Amino acid sequence: MNGLGIMWLRQIKKYWRSRSRMIGSLGQPLLFLIALGFGFAPIYQKAGGGNYMQFLAPGVIAMSILFTAMFAGIEVIWDRQFGFLKETLVAPVSRTEIMLGRTLGGATVATLQGIVVFFLCLFFGFRPASIIHLFFAFIFMFLIATLFTALGTAVASQMEDMQAFPIIMNFLIMPLFFLSGALFPLEGLPTIIYYLTRLNPLSYGVDGLRGTLTGLTSFGLFSDLLILTTITLLITFIGAYSFSKIEI
């Protein structure tokens, strides 16, 4: 098995052995579904928006993937500090394969997390518009996961301080999430917020998920898929280059 496959399997095994971490990471999506899903539902309905849970659920799924994917990068710093990264990098495989294996493994874990949250949303009343489109929803989940796992790895490759990493991640994650349309519609926004949402790659992931799960889309599914795929490939390339230059 090549280096990419080995690193992918390693990430999956870590996930399986850390089921308590998976359960703990459900707390935030659960809070959003209960507090916002039921708290804002009457207001959203009176404003003519319809069922707020139908609107919110794709955003909460994307949020769970985003957080899981971005924080996967901290394992690079962890492995560096405890010497595991050095053992990995001296193996007779390219650093690009190692990075891609880590990224795909982390993306698989984040996608599984998103699927778990999807079933949690079903419990709270969310209903997908079409079962047939679920396959395309999973594609968007995986693209979101790959993009932000690669971004987290790229950032972690340039850092050695494990305590600083969560601070930097929160600095990136919160604007990405709140400006993605996960919690509110993207129509009728102030000009500056409008352009910020268009520059946010997560906006296209959330819109793609919402389009495949509920049939509502702001940009069009083809545009969402094209832009998200392009940005994912670009960030993965940057992450691979950054990881190849890592010093041990």
User: pLDDT-derived band of residue 82, with 50, 70 and 90 as boundaries?
Assistant: low
The model's pTM: 0.88
| pLDDT value at residue 212 | 95
Across the range 225-230, mean pLDDT stands at: 96
Percent of the chain scored above 70 by pLDDT? 83
Q: What digits encode the pLDDT tens for the residues 195-222?
A: 999 999 999 999 999 999 998 899 999 9
DSSP state of 131: S
Q: What digits encode the pLDDT tens for the residues 110-127?
A: 998 999 999 999 998 899
Got the DSSP string for 97-143?
Answer: HHHHHHHHHHHHHHHHHHHHHHHHHHHTT---S-STTHHHHHHHHHH
| pLDDT value at residue 159 | 76
Indicate whether 186 pLDDT > 90: no
Indicate whether 3 pLDDT > 60: no
Give the chain's mean pLDDT.
Answer: 83
Indicate whether 89 pLDDT > 60: yes
| pLDDT value at residue 166 | 77
Helix or strand holding residue 20 (H, E): helix 19-24
Across the range 45-66, mean pLDDT stands at: 88
Percent of the chain scored above 90 by pLDDT? 37
User: pLDDT-derived band of residue 139, with 50, 70 and 90 as boundaries?
Assistant: very high
- The number of folded domains in the chain is 1
| pLDDT value at residue 61 | 95
Residues 76/248, Cβ–Cβ less than 8 Å: no
User: pLDDT-derived band of residue 90, with 50, 70 and 90 as boundaries?
Assistant: low
For 165, the domain range is: 3-244
SS3 50: coil
